[in-house]
Amino acid sequence: MKRTWQISTVGDAARARIAAARLAAAHGVTALDRTRLATALSTHLRQCLTKGGTWRLTLEVTPAPAAQSVLHAVVTPLETAESTAHTPWRTSLLCPETPAPADASTPADTPSVLAESLLGADEDAALVLDKLAEQEELVAFLRDELHQTNQGVLALHAELDAAGRAQREAFAAERGARQEAESARRRLTFLADASAVLTSSLNHDEIVRLLPELLVPEYARSVDVWLFDGEDDRRPPAPHPAAAVLAARTGRPQYAAGRPGELPGVDDRPPSALDPEHPLLCLPLPTRRAPLGVITLAPPGDRWDPDDAVMLIEFARRASIAIDNARRFEHNRDIAETLQRALLTDLPSAPGLRLAARYLPATHGLNIGGDWYDAFPQPDGGLIAVVGDVTGHGLHAAVMMSQLRTALRAYAVDGAGPGTLLTRLHTFLHHLQPDLYATAVIARIHPDEPTLTWAAAGHPPPVLRTPDGRVHTLDAKPGAMLGIPLSQEIPDHTVPLPPGSTLALYTDGLVERRAQGIDPGIARLATALGGFEPAELERNLEGSADLILDPLLSDSERDDDVCLLLCHLAEQRG
């Protein structure tokens, strides 16, 4: 359906507008869309009348898909020379399916018709205003919702920001705690490692030398160790900072610097006149009696961390204990070595008989033990040679060994044989020290007798080399250990002893190894003794003793004393 109106006056425009509104209403166009159409059409027609001329309004309804139709409105100028330059105005509205439209002809120009059209337009305007009011209420509601949402978002942002700050603070605290724990672990590890290094040595000079190596450069730039005694008198006295002297007198750590260090357990002092530009930390080396000395440290940086200062004070305490223990050990070792040398007498000289002895103390402990050797003549011209081993180490074992040696010499005055002497020593030791035991081997050699008499009590067997180079292990059944709660008579054993023979008496420290036992060591001793030329043993028995010890001790841990006594019967010369 298509309708056309010519418009040249305001009345024509009003009638065309009324006709367009009716046609739209007839096709079911909503009041809002009708109002939009009327408003847009009125605006354009007003512009057309302002321009002048005659205009044509065309309204056409065309079908559309989905059972709908479309209302087209077109305003074009009539074909005149003045209006050819104007562009047509167009608009379209979607119309629902409706019955056949009512008459949409040009309305009559009467007051009733115009009033009806005006009222209809007002109704549409009222509907539009109602829609507008609803939209305003909706906008106000949405504005309130948006405001509340914004307030919630702001509150959420504030909570998130607070949570973020709390999380960052927690992370920072955790990092700080982890760093403190790592620093504490590092300090404890340093103390443990340093203590192991310091206590591994019993030489106080070596411990003093290790102190700078342990502290520089992590905890100190330089280290000066001042010991109050035991220093080399040949060295000129060195000046010491006043803080070090004060630490020595009071036994308290001192910190000398231009500003207070505020280190726990440390007294603050003015800077040292010897080095006023750098702070100094003076730590006494404490003992139960008085400080051994003072360690003076220069900081690795500007100053020390308080926790590092606490650790350094503990380090100084442990270093003092290590130095004090080393000095005590060195003092006791000197006493023990002096006693040991006094107990091991010189070997006698006998016609036609050469003797050589070696005693090596264990490398651990006080270097004194119960191993001993002795050789002395009997009234009939015979020579008693003995090697023994008292159980245990230290001064007690050495004193017991001295008593056994003295008792043996007293028992041998009447010319008794080795078995009788060991039996007497067994009884003596059992009554003198019931909880102490010993082993021993005694050999009797007489230059005028071609025999060797010997006896053993729980001791490794003697090894005899004959002039033909053959080596014999004298392993006849020995007696039990000396001092055990058992009554025993230890027998003598006799073997030929031709001139040029060499007898080796020894303790188990020479031949016994933990992983191998004693038999392989005795075999090695026999091999070493059999490797000499006869003339070599005759000429240099002392050197031969060293040549025997060197290979046998090459694999030894030296955790036991070693004793070796060689007896060489000279060859007869015509």
Share of the chain above pLDDT 90, in %: 40
- Residue 322 predicted with pLDDT over 60: yes
What would the mean pLDDT of 141-167 be, rounded to a whole number?
90
Assign 560 to helix, strand or coil.
coil
Only one residue has tokens 């009324």, namely: 18
* Lateral strand order in the sheet of 383-393: 369-377, 383-393, 438-445, 451-457, 493-496
* Neighbouring C-beta atoms of residue 513, cutoff 10 Å: 13
Domain boundaries, the chain: 2-109, 204-338, 344-569
Q: Who contacts 306 (Cβ-Cβ below 8 Å, separation ≥6)?
A: 262, 263, 264
Contact criterion met (CB below 8 Å) for 124 and 35: yes
Note the pLDDT tens digit of each residue in 27-61.
888 888 888 888 888 888 888 888 888 899 898 88
Confidence bin at 545 (pLDDT 50/70/90): very high
Nearest CA to 345 among 436, 432, 409? 409
Judged against a pLDDT cut of 90, whether residue 247 lies above it is answered with yes
Mean pLDDT of the chain: 85
Mean pLDDT of 270-275: 87
Residue 102 has pLDDT above 70, yes or no: no
Higher-pLDDT residue of 57, 334: 57
Instruction: Check whether 88 has a pLDDT greater than 90.
Output: no
- pLDDT range class, residue 363, cuts 50, 70, 90: low
**143: number of Cβ within 10 Å:** 10
| H/E segment holding residue 376 | strand 369-377
Which pairs with CB-CB distance under 8 Å and at least 24 residues apart come from 512-516?
A: 512/460, 512/560, 513/555, 513/556, 514/557
What does the block give as tokens for 344? 């091991």
Q: Which two tokens stand for residue 102?
A: 């009512």
The pLDDT of residue 233 is 39
Among 84-98, 152-166, 368-382, 383-397, name the one with the lowest average pLDDT: 84-98
Distance CA(518)–CA(509), nearest Å, equals 9
Interacting residues of 369 by C-beta distance below 8 A, sequence separation 6+? 361, 362, 390, 392, 393, 394, 397, 398, 560, 561
What pLDDT was estimated at residue 189?
93
204-338 in CATH: which number? 3.30.450.40
Q: Would the pLDDT of 284 be above 70?
A: yes
Backbone Cα Rg of the chain: 61
CA neighbours closer than 13 Å in the CB half-sphere of residue 134: 6
Question: In this structure, what token pair is assigned to residue 164?
Answer: 């973020």
- pLDDT at 563 exceeding the cut of 60: yes
Give me the pLDDT at residue 231, please. 47
Q: How far apart are CA 63 and CA 510, in angstroms?
A: 127
Report the alpha-carbon distance of residue 246 to residue 272 in Å, rounded. Answer: 12
Q: Does 344 have pLDDT greater than 80?
A: no
449, pLDDT greater than 50: yes
pLDDT of residue 368: 65
Written as one letter, the residue type at 441 is V
**506-517 pLDDT per residue, tens:** 999 899 887 788
Question: E-strand spans in 11-157?
Answer: 55-64, 68-77, 89-95
Stated pTM of the model:
0.55
* Residue 319 contacts residue 295 (beta carbons within 8 Å): yes
344-569: which CATH topology?
Phosphatase 2c; domain 1 (3.60.40)
d(C-alpha 362, C-alpha 391), whole Å: 14
Which of 171 and 107 is assigned the larger pLDDT? 171
Which of 4-8, 167-171, 287-291, 439-443 has the weakest average pLDDT?
A: 287-291
pLDDT of residue 108: 54
Q: Report cis status (omega within 30 of 0) of the bond before 63.
A: no
How does 211-227 read in b/e, with b if 16+ C-beta sit within 10 Å?
A: beebbeeebbebbbbbb
pLDDT at 117: 63
Nearest-angstrom CA–CA distance, 20 and 206: 119
pLDDT over 60 (residue 120): yes
For 418-440, the pLDDT digits (tens) are 999 999 999 999 888 888 899 99
Q: Is the pLDDT of residue 361 over 80?
A: no
CA distances for 68 relative to 34, 149, 427, angstroms: 17, 42, 139
Q: Pick the range with the lowest mean pLDDT from 11-20, 90-99, 398-407.
A: 90-99
Greatest alpha-carbon pair distance for the chain in Å reads 184
**Residue 447, pLDDT score:** 79
When pLDDT is averaged across residues 458-466 and rounded to a whole number, the result is: 95
